[in-house]
Amino acid sequence: MASKICILHILTIISIFLPHAKSIHFNFPAIFNFGDSNSDTGELIASGIESLVPPNGQSYFQKPSGRYCDGRLIIDFLLDEMDLPFLNAYLDSVGLPNFRKGCNFAAAGSTIRPATPTSVSPFSFGVQVAQFLRFKARVLELLPEGKKLSKYLPEKDYFEKGLYMFDVGQNDLAGAFYSKSLDQILASIPAILVEFETGIQKLYDQGARNFWIHNTGPLGCLPQNVAKFGTDPSQLDELGCVSQHNQASKLFNLQLHALCRKFQGQFSDANVTYVDIFTIKYNLIANYSRYGFEQPIMACCGYGGPPLNYDSRVSCGQTKILNGTSVTAKGCPDSTEYVIWDGIHYTEAANQYVSSQILTGKYSDPPFSDKMPFLLNLKF
C-alpha distances in Å from residue 253, one per residue of 1, 218, 250, 267, 283: 32, 10, 5, 20, 16
- Alpha helix stretches (DSSP H) within 177-269: 182-205, 223-229, 243-266
37, 39, 335, 356: which is the annotated catalytic residue?
37
Distance CA 73, CA 70 (A): 9
92, 345, 355, 356: which is the annotated catalytic residue?
345
C-alpha distances in Å from residue 240, one per residue of 81, 235, 265: 34, 9, 39
Distance CA 170, CA 166 (A): 12
Question: Is the bond preceding 218 in cis, omega lying within 30 degrees of 0?
Answer: no
342, 356, 364, 369: which is the annotated catalytic residue?
342
Calculated CA dihedral for residues 314, 315, 318, 319, nearest 10 degrees? 10
Contact 223, 245 (CB under 8 A): no
C-alpha distances in Å from residue 92, one per residue of 48, 88, 142, 220: 11, 7, 18, 33
Verify whether residue 342 is a known catalytic residue. Answer: yes
DSSP calls for 6-59: HHHHHHHHHHHTSPP--------S-EEEEESTTT-SSHHHHHTS----TTTTTT
Pairing verdict, β 325-328 and 319-322: antiparallel
Q: What angle do CA 170, 173, 176 make, to 5 degrees?
A: 140
Task: Tell me which DSSP letter residue 330 carries.
Answer: B
DSSP calls for 160-188: HHSEEEEE--HHHHHHHTTTS-HHHHHHH
Verify whether residue 37 is a known catalytic residue. Answer: yes
Contact 8, 352 (CB under 8 A): yes
- Residue numbers annotated as active site: 37, 342, 345
